[in-house]
Structure 1
Amino acid sequence: MTGYVHIYTGNGKGKTTAAFGLTLRASGADKKVFIAQFVKGKTYSEIKAIQNYLPQIELKQYGRGCFIVNDPTEADIQAAQQGLREIMELVKSERYDLIILDEIFIALHYKLISVEAVTELITNKPANLELVLTGRYAPDEIIELADLVTEMKEVNHYYQKGVPARKGIEF
């Protein structure tokens, strides 16, 4: 089976949710899945669901919390770079059918990792590996390498009306 490169990007809600939906589908088809979450370092509801109900899915976070309101620290940079090194080894291992790089574009946007390193990862992936990259600010040079690109566009969002993120819906 041929594996493709998917991108879920844009300012709208649903990028991570789309990737996790694909994870659920792949898991139901007995595919081996690895999820790498860049920038994120907190326990979100989707992580609890995987831990409690889908232990065959592996997930690792390469973030230390949420620095988005501040500048990233050297420790944030090191966590992202270590994550990318580990992902490169996992890709080479061919142990997984689907690898998700959640919020990889945020890591790129904040210069925690390089576009060249992500480009190298994509161009050297095994032919049968399905690779999903998510996050705002997907760079054009990576979009050009993708087989499927979906841009989430915010048309209306209740957050703009003062509704805070809700457990089980946004986190």
Structure 2
Amino acid sequence: MNSDRTTLRRAHARDAVDAADVWLRSFSAALPTVRRAHDDDEVRDWFATVVVPRQETWVAVAAGSVVGVLVLDGEELAQLYLDPPWRGRGLGDRFVRLAQRRRPSGLSLWTFQINGPARRFYERHGFAAVERTDGLGNEEREPDVRYVWPSPPL
């Protein structure tokens, strides 16, 4: 399967658990050394009670299954996670283009400094690193980096 067989659509309440499970699988695969601040059930509850009902949540659906999730919270690209088998197939590119169309005045996001593939991905899409932290401000206590798009003028 490739990403042209996927549909991007707004998430419904019934998608919350599936979107959370994509988040869980993706986080575990991409960030095996990062301590998760919440267990699986807490993540599923957060998606069901906060993410899907209160934030602009999009899902990628292939053959009836959720395979990716994008969350916009105001001007922040708050979440972009793909089921591990769907990485590298263009689905992330489609999600970023959607986010940029939805927020043409600009976006910001945080990612962990250790996540080199995500950092390269966002930089390829025109995001620029503007701030780095020691991680004391996030629940995982992992050094992170803030990106903005469009890139600020030099």
- Which TM-score band (shorter chain)? 0.3 to 0.5
Structure (1 or 2) with the larger CA radius of gyration: 1
Which of the two has greater strand per residue? Answer: 2
TM-score normalised to structure 1 length: 0.31
TM-score normalised to structure 2 length: 0.33
Which structure is higher in RCO with an 8 Å CA cutoff and minimum separation 6?
Answer: 1
